[in-house]
């Protein structure tokens, strides 16, 4: 922290010369606008909860365990969407975390100085591409490739294993997982790179002093030191994956059925909202969708909260501000 | 100076885009009437008035053609139709966020009771629900019996060389690959027509799944809109889905012959759809929502249906109401010739007459909106 | 005796070292691969279809080839403009509050709310905007779409504004106060201009972010086949057009979807580059 930066303490210690109405207005107006943010969040929770009440009353806890989504019979259960959301996000993590952490190690420890900037820039560019563009590329390019080069061989050779059961249609929970992996990779990489870069030099030097190779120093001394922060980055990436809508709905197959097979189509909480929200005609159908909105909000709230707490506990230890 | 560049640049860029949008573009008449338009009831900064409609994807090809043609004839009126599915059309009409809705699934008594006011159904065209499939190595058109169709969509027939399919297609070598069923993921009138057909021909379907705009499909991938289902079938070898005929033909997708109630394998076409709609005039007079699936007649295509425009009987805005009625008048008369070019069946004469009397019954503030035409008795509306 | 074993073990470790480090290099390449693929496809198919007609024509009726994405391109810019008008005041003034009054307890809650808001999936905000704006107003509108996107912009602008104001050296603030200038004039007239570059960066980045948002617009701005500047009516936008075209079967629409993706990514790139250019001037103040 540079000596020129202003810490909260110094600002707070600045003389509070409230010269009359100007300063009071300033305080109140800016406070009002700041409170709008709080108001928006409260409003979101309240309206969704209110609109979801009919479904909550009708289904209770069964909403989360029932697998039926039947608008004709007015029976709604969200388990297939919960399953699809979690399963596709987990696949995304399994694919993105090793690559992301390894890339971060590359950026923080191994890359020559000139490469560091451009490669970092390119990874960050991944985060700037909109979800719908990933979906476009996914449905027109990646899914056919995945179907012919990954799913078909898996199905022919290992089709009897439950996790590879089902016909290889291309659109599947696997396809969604791959797209999610691409989209959350920048988060994992950026956070891990920052965490590794913040590890004190002494850790590496001590390790080298003991005669370790470069890799041993990184893997045994540096990475474990920052594991909480890295884990926080992973959880942050999970939060992002859970809420992804467009790219997922374009490649996941939109089938409300929970299955362990990677090759089977699935559905996610956000995808069902995108497909059904504007045209659900029954009152209970609408309430069920509002309840799904609330569940989605709650899920991302919990996951992001966990991530924030992990990152906070790391920065607190390292003596950072905030 | 340098720092202000990045403030000025995006502003310039946005201005450039907007001016590019403002001038140029030969197919946008809106740019030619920027000033001095006759004040209409809708205060619109684009200088004309706009009607917003939403709903069925089933007739979207012909509606988009109609509204474009009508706009060429009447440049001051833009009809913005968004194809979000029949369920969406009904829902948004209910919420009064659109001026008119479109749905291939008429309102049930329960749905009609939930609408804030009385709604008029206006059949516009009849269309065929084609069973389109993606089997690159199979030439010629597949023949499907009602039992085969039901078995496929129930998940009982899992592979293309299933005996139920093969028995009707002697001489065609069907691959031993899985069938990728595609259905609608949104609330759909096309689904309504198709599930009504399945419920009529398969007791197992009727009992297990039922008919409706959104059902609990036993198997299959979900696509959004007719476009989405056609897209899934096109992208997935071994796929089969149900789409309006125009989507299959425009995208050069294969589609099947279906065995009708007379036992003939019939191809979906303007002729066979017209045959299905032919005798319906009297039935529609009694209840305009009568379905025409499995229609009698040797030439009738069994999976056909009318598609409806939905509007309130009591129009809140007289000017908009009148514009809509004139548009719909045009559609049920002049527009019908365009329908056949897009593989939809034009309305039978009796249905046109029925529509005219229904249009005459639309009112605003108690006054009929169209000049009175001496037609006897509007047909029965829900 | 033990010497041979030790050498062998050292060799294994060295091999493991090379192998794992090699994997890290590979991982970096793998990480850049999807981006390259996506950009390649956008460039290849998109470039071929981006022509003057694309920018100036309306979409054609279903099944006919040709036409353009003019309503969508202009619509996106308008909707993001509305989003900025809605989101910037809250974000900037809120950020000023958080930076100038850091010890107020309320600030903690506001920061927490901003963090929550930044993690909320955009489709949830679209649902809320539909419930609170579209239904009562009884129409789909660019206004509702803009408001939904504005909500997404708020946390980004808020955080950036707070950070940038914090970065202004306190000597500036203290000198101004010592001269007798009231607190509010110091904050708005001295500190804020000094942080201006960073704040504009935050604005540009948040605009770049919401330009690509699709889900909230699906049921707020809906879509429009005609060119319209009326914010009280449905309005087309690029992401929604791209989505509709991508899931359809029409080859022509696929072509236009790629072109739209190219234009969209291009606009986002321009905004991001401008944002980066802005912070280059601030290098002197960075730690």
CA of B58 vs chain A CAs: smallest distance (Å)? 15
A20-29, B285-294, C159-168: which is most confident? C159-168
The DSSP string of C63-92 is: T---B--HHHHHHHHHHHHHHHHHHHHHHH
Cα distances (Å, whole numbers) of residue A95 to A8, A101, C65, C209: 41, 11, 40, 25
Contacts of A119 in chain C (CB under 8 A): 28, 32
Report the chain C residue with the minimal C-alpha distance to residue A99: C27
Q: How far is B221 from chain A (nearest CA, A)?
A: 5
Residue B26 has pLDDT above 90, yes or no: no
Q: What is the DSSP letter of A312?
A: H
For chain A, the average pLDDT equals 88
Query: Would you call A11 and C170 a contact, using CB atoms and an 8 Å cutoff?
Result: yes
SS3 call for A253 = strand
What does the pLDDT look like over C130-189, one tens digit per residue? 999 988 988 889 999 999 999 999 999 999 999 999 989 989 888 988 998 888 888 888
Q: Report the C-alpha gap between C205 and B91 in whole angstroms.
A: 36
pLDDT digits over B191-200, tens only? 999 999 999 9
Which residues, at least 6 apart from C109, have a Cβ–Cβ distance to it below 8 Å?
A38
Residues of B in contact with A255 (CB under 8 A): 217, 220-222
Q: Which residues contact C140 (CB under 8 A, 6 or more apart)?
A: B52, B92, B97, B98, C134, C219, C220, C221, C222, C233, C234
Kindly tell me the burial class for residue A4, based on how many C-beta atoms sit within 10 Å of its own C-beta (0-12, 13-18, 19 or more).
middle
pLDDT exceeds cutoff 90 at A270: yes
- Closest by CA to C150, choosing from B353, A109, A33, is A33
Please report, rounded to a whole number, the percentage of residues in chain A having pLDDT higher than 70: 92
- Residue with the bigger pLDDT between C228 and C94: it is C94
Q: Do B6 and C277 touch (CB under 8 A)?
A: yes
- Whether residue B38 is predicted with pLDDT greater than 60 in this model: the reply is no
pLDDT value at B4 more than 60: no
CA angle B307, B312, B317 (to 5 degrees): 130
On the question of pLDDT at B17 being above 80, the answer is no
Least CB-CB distance to A71: which of B214, B222, B223?
A: B214
What residues of chain A lie within 8 A of the CB of B230, using their CB?
Answer: none
- Taking the C-alpha atoms of residue B242 and residue B199, their distance in angstroms, rounded to an integer, is 15
Question: Would you call A300 and C98 a contact, using CB atoms and an 8 Å cutoff?
Answer: no
Residue B234: which of C81, C138, C249 has the nearest Cβ? Answer: C249
- Reported as a pLDDT band with limits 50, 70 and 90, residue A82 is very high
pLDDT, residue A192, reads 93
- Cβ–Cβ of A110/C90 closer than 8 Å? no
pLDDT of residue A17: 54
Instruction: Kindly state the average pLDDT of the residues B279-298.
Output: 85
CA dist C134 and C221 (Å) reads 9
Please, what is the end-to-end C-alpha distance for chain B in angstroms?
Answer: 69
3-class DSSP string for chain B: CCCCHHHHHHHHHHHHHHHHHHCCCCCCHHHHCCCCCCCCCCCCCCCCEEEEEEECCCCHHHHHHHHHHHHHHCCCEEEEEEECCHHHHHHHHHCCCCCEEEECCCCCHHHHHHCCCCEEEEEEEEEEEEEEECCCCCCCCCEECHHHHHHHHHCCCCECCCHHHHCCCCCCCCCCCECEEEEECCCCHHHHHHHHHHHHHCHHHHHHCCCCCCCCCCCCEEECHHHHHHHHHHHCCCEEEEEEHHHHHHCCCEECEEECCCCCEECCCHHHHHHHHHCHHHHHHHCCCCCCCCCCCCCCCCCEEEEEEEEECECCCHHHHHHHHHHHHHHHHCHHHHHHHCCCECCCHHHHHHHHHHHHCCEECCEECCCCCCCCCCCCCC
Buried b (16+ CB within 10 A) or exposed e, A122-137: bbebbbbbbbbbbbbb
Nearest residue to B216 via CA among A249, A281, A74, A295:
A74
pLDDT of residue C113: 94
- Cα(A303)–Cα(C119) distance, integer angstroms: 9
Q: Which of A71, A169, A249 sits opposite B180 (nearest CB)?
A: A169
Q: Is the pLDDT of residue B372 over 70?
A: no
The reply to whether A179 touches chain B by the CB within 8 Å rule is no
Find which of A7, A97, A133, A295 to mutate to test the C interface (most C CBs within 10 Å of its CB): A133
pLDDT in tens, B142-154: 999 999 999 999 9
Among partner residues B13, B25, B225, which is closest to C57 by beta-carbon distance? B25
**pLDDT at residue C284 above 60?**
no
Residues in chain A: 322
Residue A318 has a pLDDT of 54
Please give the pLDDT value at position A298: 95
- pLDDT for residue C207 is more than 90: yes
Query: Average pLDDT in the C94-111 region?
Result: 90
Burial degree of A218 (CB within 10 A; 0-12, 13-18, 19+): buried
- Rounded Cα–Cα distance for residues B81 and C248 (Å): 17
**Mean pLDDT value across chain C:** 89
Chain C nearest-CA distance from B380, in A, is 29
d(CA C190, CA C182): 11
Decide if B253 touches C, using CB distance below 8 A.
Answer: yes
Q: Name the pairing type of β-strands B49-55 and B77-83.
A: parallel
Mean pLDDT of A69-83: 88
Q: Provide the pLDDT confidence category of residue A155 given band limits of 50, 70 and 90.
A: confident
Nearest Cα neighbor of C100 from A102, A262, A14 is A14
**A-C contacts at Cβ under 8 angstroms:** 288
What pLDDT score does A122 carry?
87
Backbone angles phi, psi at B346, to 5 degrees: -65, 160
Hey, is C150 helix, strand or coil? helix
Structure-derived torsion over alpha carbons of residues C41, B181, B131, B198, reported in degrees to the nearest 10? -150
Task: Indicate the pLDDT class of residue C57, thresholds 50, 70 and 90.
Answer: confident
- Indicate the pLDDT class of residue A22, thresholds 50, 70 and 90: confident
User: Between the CA of residue A253 and those of A174, A266, A272, B221, what are the distances in Å?
Assistant: 10, 6, 11, 5
Interface of B with A in 225-244 (CB under 8 A): 231-232, 235-236, 238-239
Q: Is C59 helix (H, G, I), strand (E, B) or coil?
A: strand
Round to whole Å and give the CA distance between A284 and A290.
10
Nearest to A250 by CA among B221, B99, C96: B221
Tell me how many degrees the CA angle A183-A185-A191 measures, rounded to the nearest 5. Answer: 125
pLDDT band at residue A316 under the 50/70/90 scheme: low
**Is residue B51 within 8 Å of residue B79, measured between CB atoms?**
yes
pLDDT confidence of residue B6: 46
Q: Which residues contact A157 (CB under 8 A, 6 or more apart)?
A: none
Q: Is A76 helix (H, G, I), strand (E, B) or coil?
A: strand
Q: In the predicted model, what is the mean pLDDT of residues A211-224?
A: 89
Cβ contacts (< 8 Å) between A219 and chain C: which residues?
Answer: 20
To the nearest whole angstrom, how far is the Cα of C273 from the nearest Cα of chain B?
10
Smallest Cβ–Cβ distance between B224 and the set C200, C224, C247 belongs to C247
A-chain CB neighbours of C247 within 8 Å are 139, 250
Residue A77: enclosing H or E segment and its boundaries? none
What is the pLDDT at residue B303? 93
Do residues B85 and B55 lie in contact, with contact meaning Cβ atoms separated by under 8 Å? yes
Q: At what angle do helices B86-94 and B189-201 cross, to 10 degrees?
A: 120
Residue A112 has pLDDT above 50, yes or no: yes
Say if CB A167 and CB B178 are below 8 A apart.
Answer: yes
- Point out the least confidently predicted range of A235-249, B296-310, C51-65, C215-229: C51-65
Question: What mean pLDDT, rounded, does chain B reach?
Answer: 83
Q: Which residue has the higher pLDDT, C5 or A41?
A: A41
Cβ atoms < 10 Å from Cβ of A315: 15
Q: Chains that contact B by 3+ CB pairs under 8 Å?
A: A, C
pLDDT at site A134:
95
Nearest CB neighbour to A72, from listed B85, B214, B222 = B214
**What is the tens place of the pLDDT at every residue in B219-277?**
999 888 898 999 999 999 999 999 999 999 999 999 999 999 899 999 999 999 999 98
pLDDT at B2: 45
DSSP state, A170?
Answer: S
Q: Given A40, A110, A185, which is nearest C21 (Cβ)?
A: A110
pLDDT in tens, B101-159: 999 999 988 889 989 999 999 999 999 999 999 999 888 899 999 999 999 999 999 99
pLDDT for the residue B252: 92
pLDDT digit string (tens) for A162-183? 888 888 888 999 999 999 999 9
Record the pTM: 0.86
A281 interaction partners in chain B (CB closer than 8 Å):
87, 90-91, 94, 111, 187, 213
Alpha-carbon Rg of chain C, whole angstroms? 25
Band (A19; pLDDT cuts 50, 70, 90)? low
| Separation of alpha carbons B183 and B221, rounded Å | 6
């Amino acid at each position: 922290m540079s000596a020129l930066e202003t810490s909260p303490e110094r600002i707070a210690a600045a003389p509070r010369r409230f010269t009359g109405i100007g300063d009071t207005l300033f305080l109140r107006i800016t406070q009002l606008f700041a409170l709008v943010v709080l108001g928006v969040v409260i409003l979101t929770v309240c309206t969704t909860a209110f609109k979801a009440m009919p479904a909550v009353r009708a289904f209770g806890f069964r909403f989360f365990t029932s697998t039926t989504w039947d608008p004709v019979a007015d029976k709604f259960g969200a388990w297939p969407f919960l399953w699809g959301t979690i399963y596709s996000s987990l696949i995304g993590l399994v694919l993105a975390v090793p690559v992301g952490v390894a890339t971060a190690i590359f950026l923080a420890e191994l890359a020559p100085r000139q490469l560091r900037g451009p490669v970092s820039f390119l990874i960050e560019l991944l985060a700037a591409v909109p979800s719908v563009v990933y979906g476009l590329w996914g449905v027109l390019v990646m899914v056919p490739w995945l179907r012919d080069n990954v799913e078909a061989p898996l199905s022919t050779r290992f089709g009897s294993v439950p996790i590879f059961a089902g016909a290889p249609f291309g659109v599947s929970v696997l396809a969604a997982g791959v797209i999610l992996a691409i989209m959350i990779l920048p988060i994992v990489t950026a956070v891990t790179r920052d965490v590794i870069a913040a590890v004190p030099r002494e850790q590496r030097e001590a390790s080298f002093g003991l005669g370790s190779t470069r890799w041993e120093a990184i893997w045994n001394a540096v990475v474990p030191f920052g594991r909480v922060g890295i884990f926080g980055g992973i959880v942050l990436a999970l939060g992002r994956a859970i809420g992804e809508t467009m790219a997922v709905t374009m490649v996941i197959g939109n089938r409300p059925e929970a299955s362990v097979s990677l090759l089977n189509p699935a559905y996610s909480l956000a995808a069902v909202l995108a497909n059904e929200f504007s045209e659900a005609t029954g009152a209970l159908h609408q309430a069920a969708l509002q309840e799904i909105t609330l569940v989605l909000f709650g899920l991302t709230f919990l996951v992001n909260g966990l991530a924030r707490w992990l990152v906070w506990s790391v920065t607190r230890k390292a003596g950072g501000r905030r | 100076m340098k720092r202000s560049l990045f403030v000025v640049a995006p502003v310039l860029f946005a201005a450039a885009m907007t001016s590019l949008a403002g001038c140029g573009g030969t197919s946008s008449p809106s740019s030619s009437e920027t000033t001095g338009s006759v004040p209409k009831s809708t205060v619109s900064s684009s200088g004309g008035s706009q009607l917003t409609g939403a709903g069925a994807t089933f007739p979207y090809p012909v509606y988009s053609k109609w509204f474009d043609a009508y706009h060429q004839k009447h440049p001051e009126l833009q009809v913005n139709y968004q194809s979000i599915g029949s369920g969406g059309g009904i829902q948004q009409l209910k919420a009064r966020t659109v001026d008119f809705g479109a749905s291939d699934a008429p309102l049930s008594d329960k749905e009609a009771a939930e609408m804030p006011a009385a709604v008029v159904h206006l059949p516009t065209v009849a269309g065929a629900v084609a069973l389109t499939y993606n089997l690159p190595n199979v030439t010629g058109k597949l023949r499907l019996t009602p039992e085969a169709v039901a078995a496929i969509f129930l998940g009982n027939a899992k592979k293309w060389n299933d005996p139920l399919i093969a028995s009707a297609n002697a001489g065609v070598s069907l691959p031993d690959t899985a069938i990728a069923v595609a259905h609608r993921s949104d609330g759909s009138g096309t689904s309504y027509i198709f599930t009504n057909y399945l419920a009529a021909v398969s007791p197992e379907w009727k009992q297990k799944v039922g008919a409706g705009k959104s059902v609990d499909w036993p198997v299959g991938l979900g696509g959004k809109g007719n476009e989405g289902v056609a897209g899934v079938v096109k992208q997935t070898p071994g796929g089969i889905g149900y789409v309006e005929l125009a989507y299959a033909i425009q995208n050069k997708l294969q589609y099947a012959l279906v065995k009708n109630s007379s036992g003939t394998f019939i191809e979906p076409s303007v002729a066979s759809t017209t045959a299905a709609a032919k005798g319906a005039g009297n039935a529609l007079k009694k209840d305009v929502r009568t379905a025409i699936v499995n229609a009698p007649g040797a030439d009738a295509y069994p999976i056909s249906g009318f598609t409806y425009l939905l509007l309130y009987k009591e129009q809140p805005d007289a000017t908009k109401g009148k514009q809509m009625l004139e548009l719909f008048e045009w559609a049920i008369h002049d527009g019908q010739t365009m329908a056949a070019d897009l593989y939809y069946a034009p309305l039978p004469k009796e249905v046109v007459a029925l529509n005219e009397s229904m249009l005459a019954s639309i009112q605003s503030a108690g006054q009929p909106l169209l000049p009175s035409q001496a037609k006897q008795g509007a047909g029965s509306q829900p | 005796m033990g010497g041979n074993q030790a050498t062998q073990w050292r060799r294994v470790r060295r091999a493991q070292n090379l192998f794992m480090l090699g994997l890290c290099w590979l991982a970096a390449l793998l990480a850049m691969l999807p981006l390259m693929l996506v950009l390649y496809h956008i460039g290849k198919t998109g470039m071929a279809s981006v022509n003057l007609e694309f920018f100036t024509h309306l979409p054609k009726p279903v099944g006919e080839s040709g036409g353009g994405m003019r309503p969508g391109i202009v619509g996106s810019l308008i909707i993001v403009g509305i989003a900025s008008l809605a989101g910037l005041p809250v974000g900037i003034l809120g950020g000023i509050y958080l930076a100038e009054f850091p010890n107020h307890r309320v600030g903690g809650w506001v920061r927490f709310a901003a963090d929550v808001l930044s993690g909320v999936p955009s489709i949830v905000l679209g649902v809320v905007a539909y419930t609170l704006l579209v239904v009562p107003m009884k129409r789909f509108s660019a206004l509702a779409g803009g408001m939904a996107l504005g909500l997404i912009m708020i946390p980004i602008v808020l955080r950036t504004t707070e950070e940038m104001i914090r970065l202004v050296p306190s000597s500036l603030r203290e000198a101004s106060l010592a001269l007798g200038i009231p607190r509010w004039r110091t904050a708005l007239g001295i500190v804020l201009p000094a942080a201006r570059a960073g704040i504009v960066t935050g604005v540009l980045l948040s605009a770049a972010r919401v330009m690509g948002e699709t889900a909230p617009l699906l049921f707020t701005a809906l879509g429009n086949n005609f060119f319209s500047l009326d914010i009280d009516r449905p309005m087309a936008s690029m992401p929604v057009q791209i989505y509709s075209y991508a899931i359809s079967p029409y080859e022509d629409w696929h072509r236009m979807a790629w072109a739209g993706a190219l234009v969209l990514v291009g606009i986002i790139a321009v905004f991001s580059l401008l944002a980066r250019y802005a912070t280059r001037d601030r290098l002197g103040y960075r730690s």
